[in-house]
């Protein structure tokens, strides 16, 4: 069976501070990496944005997707159903990153996704690649004018 594998990580120096995300996407024998950095953001925003951007890059909805992340914030919020309960509350229950969670819910609804938590900085090859991409992106001098933070 064909499966799209997505590995993600976020990084931030200071919280808020300079941040970035890294993505490794695999399908069959092809691999693609994506990263972007921001001058002002938080680690949780970068972790979540990595998942969103990866899903936004998927152009077909016929294959199952497996997402791997070392972020308990992202994985637990999804797999434990917390994000679905926030949606039912006024103002998203006052949760931070409401803008990103709404974006996630919109993009994820068309896919069959399984989520996996992996321990970070533990030798997992793709997670280490994502971490390196995220850190490098966060340090990119071209991020000077990029700001990515929640309105809340």
Question: Looking at the annotation, which residues are catalytic?
Answer: 9-10, 47, 70, 121, 131
* Nearest one of 149, 148, 83 to 115, comparing CA atoms: 83
> Using the 8-state DSSP alphabet, how is residue 8 labeled?
E
Percentages helix, strand, coil for the chain, rounded to the nearest 5? 40, 30, 30
Q: Residues with Cβ < 8 Å from 54, sequence gap 6 or more?
A: 6, 8, 23, 25, 34, 67
């Amino acid at each position: 069976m064909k499966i799209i594998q997505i590995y993600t990580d976020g990084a931030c120096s200071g919280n808020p501070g300079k941040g970035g995300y890294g993505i490794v996407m695999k399908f069959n024998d092809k691999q693609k990496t994506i990263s972007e950095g921001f001058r002002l953001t938080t680690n949780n925003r970068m972790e979540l944005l990595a998942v969103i951007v990866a899903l936004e890059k998927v152009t077909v909805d016929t294959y199952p997707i497996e997402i791997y992340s070392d972020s308990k914030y992202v994985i637990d919020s999804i797999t434990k159903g917390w994000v679905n309960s926030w949606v039912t509350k006024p103002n998203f229950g006052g949760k931070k990153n409401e803008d990103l969670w709404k974006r996630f819910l919109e993009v994820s609804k068309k896919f069959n996704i399984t989520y996996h938590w992996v321990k970070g900085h533990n030798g997992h090859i793709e997670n280490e690649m994502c971490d390196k991409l995220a850190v490098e992106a966060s340090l990119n001098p071209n991020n000077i004018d990029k700001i990515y933070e929640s309105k809340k």
